[in-house]
Amino acid sequence: MAVERNTRKIGSRATPAGGRPAVAPSSGTRRGPAAGARGAGGRGKTRPPEDEPAEEGPRSMGGEEEEGGSAREPRGREDIKPTGIPLAIRFAVIIAGSVAVAAGLLLLLARDGTTKATNDEINAAGVRMVKVLGCFEFEYWNDIGTHANTIKMNARIKELVEGLGKTITAKKPESEEEKKAQEKAVTELTEAGNSLTQALESMISEDPLSRMGNSDLNVKMGVKSPDIIDIVILNNQNQALCQVNKGSQSVSLSNQVPLGENEGVKIVEGYYQSSTGGGRTRSYTKTIIGKDGQQLGKVLLFLSAAKIDEVQKRITSALIIPAGIVVVIGAIIGLVFANLVTKPVKMLVRDIQAVAEGDLEHQTKAISTDEIGIVAKAFNSMTKSLKDAHEAELETKALEHELNIATEIQSNLLPKKIPKIPGFDVSAYYRPSKEVGGDYYDFIPIDSDNLGIVVADVSGKGIPGSMVMTMARSLLRMEAERNLSTADTLIKTNRILAKDIRRGMFVTAMYMILNVKTRTLLVSSAGHNPLHLWRHKTKSQELVNPNGIALGFDKGPIFERTVKEQRYQLYPGDRFTAYTDGVVEAMNLAMEEYGDDRFFGHCRNLADRESNQFINVVVKDLDEHKGSGPQHDDITLVTFRFMP
């Protein structure tokens, strides 16, 4: 076959007639595994030399799972039992506690109200008493205290007695009997005067306040007042004129607390201690004012306030038992009410347990229209969604299982080992953008001297692309057998593939035959990226891109007229590299492509390195360019170096 050469220098790149059609980069967003120039037995790996053990392809993620990815049946779970305090008990405790608080507040209010009433009653009684005592003429109290009038009256009585005695004795008795009668009359008059004086002193000197005390006589007479501790009438020199407890010292209060003033009466509360007892005591003080407006003295009244404490105790004792009964009744009512409220909740819990045990067909019954009924309806909706999600999960697992099998199959379709060719350093790298990809490379032994090398790219990724790739691989291998023409092999492959491929899909391919004896390379392109050829001797690089259109575009005539082949002589140090557009069109987050110039610069600068190192550096730079962005297309690299 005549060889038409179509070789150009880098920098004057132009798409030849019939060259590869422009294909927009895929928008797939699934990032492939990290790059690494290791053995090429799996995704994203370089192939080891023939004498090294091949890495195993990726295992199916399904493990021991049955084909179809069916999930295991849900296992039964233990009964759902509350580990804390039951809800009904908590309801009852809360209600009983609320009733107890309310009863306690009522008890406090009742006690405080009664205490205030008693307090007001005691104050009113004390104020009235001191006001009454203050209404007496102060001279009355002063006379009782000082006995001035008693002395005057006694003196007057003596004067009268003496005057009458003189009148009786002024007449001379005429007889002894008359004399004795005069003496007897004077004696009787004197005795009567003395008796009258003594009676007057006894009557006037008795303190009227003493009747208010707690003496035995007062007790017998029924005039005892246990609430009155003492009453004292004082003059301006604070001398006691009259006092209930005659002869005792004035009452002294400790911890005095002023309670204010009521109708001119000062009220003070404190604690009174005596040999006979003590306790809370209140003093009431009122000033005695004379007719001229001058202060003459004051009245002090001390009343026991123990009645207030007694009233508080009686009220507390009277209300504690009813309050306790109310709390118990509240707890019983709370428990009944709580059972009514929590009964539908318990039913809902049992329904949840049924669903948790795997019965996704189970539905609860909404027996009310309140919040519980809303929860029940939401639960039924959730159960239906859970069932749908479970079925979707089973389908997804089945699909993942099938996809894992497809990944393993595709991995097994790639060469298990890199061919070891005397005088050549060979390496390859493949990384799909999804679980399965549309890129493909292969080494096809034709005879003892010729090795077929193919790098292909299917339009599309995922399962459709992998299926077309599998078809193309099988056809190409079949047609390449003992066929030393790259163009003829592509033509025969296209005749079959174009009939079966789905409309709109195509395959670009770079097919080469390396004659290891003559060191020549025969190249044909089916619309693929150009082959990069580095010339070691001249330190120059060339892009080899024979005419040709993609496989599957045309069923025969046009493809056969267009496809050409070119032959190149290789020299020591030369390197040729085939790749797919996933390399030069790799994009970062800013949607900037890696680019031909950057890739060809690496091909030039790394041409003299080992092939594995060559691919390692290129893939690392690709990943650095892509950054955290997704891998948009499959990446394939195959490079040969003629050892110098």
| pLDDT score for 432 | 85
Asked whether 397 and 69 are in contact (CB, 8 A), the reply is yes
Note the pLDDT of residue 366. Answer: 66
The pLDDT assigned to 209 comes to 64
Report if pTM > 0.85: no
Residue 157: C-alpha distances to residues 153, 184, 428 (Å): 6, 19, 156
Q: Each residue of 455-506: pLDDT tens digit? A: 999 887 677 777 888 888 999 999 999 899 999 999 999 999 998 888 888 9
Q: Are 529 and 581 in contact (CB under 8 A)?
A: yes
**pLDDT for the residue numbered 365:** 72
For residue 424, the cross-strand partners are 642
Q: What one-character-per-residue DSSP string does 33-80 give?
A: PPP--S-SSSTTEEPPBTTSPPPPPPPPTTTTPPTT-PPPPPPP----
Give me the residue label for tokens 């009174």: 272
Closest CA to 470 of 440, 444, 495, 427: 440
Residues 6+ apart with CB under 8 A from 257: 268, 269, 270
Summarised one tens digit per residue, pLDDT across range 286-297 is 888 877 778 888
**Biggest alpha carbon distance in the chain?**
211
Low-confidence ranges of the chain (pLDDT < 70): 1-84, 87, 139, 143-154, 198-226, 245-251, 273-278, 366-368, 402-403, 406-407, 409-410, 435-436, 461
| Predicted local confidence at residue 321, as pLDDT | 81
Both tokens assigned to 444 = 């096809």
Kindly give the pairing relationship between strand 575-579 and strand 531-535. antiparallel
| 7-20+40-50+417-642: CATH, from 3.60.20.30, 3.60.40.10, 3.40.50.1820, 3.40.50.10800 | 3.60.40.10
Helices 462-480 & 486-500 angle (0-180, nearest 10): 140
- 433 near 26, Cβ under 8 Å? yes
Segments making up each domain of the chain, as ranges: 7-20+40-50+417-642, 107-310, 358-401
Q: Give the sheet arrangement for strand 439-445, strand by strand.
A: 439-445, 450-458, 507-515, 520-526, 565-569
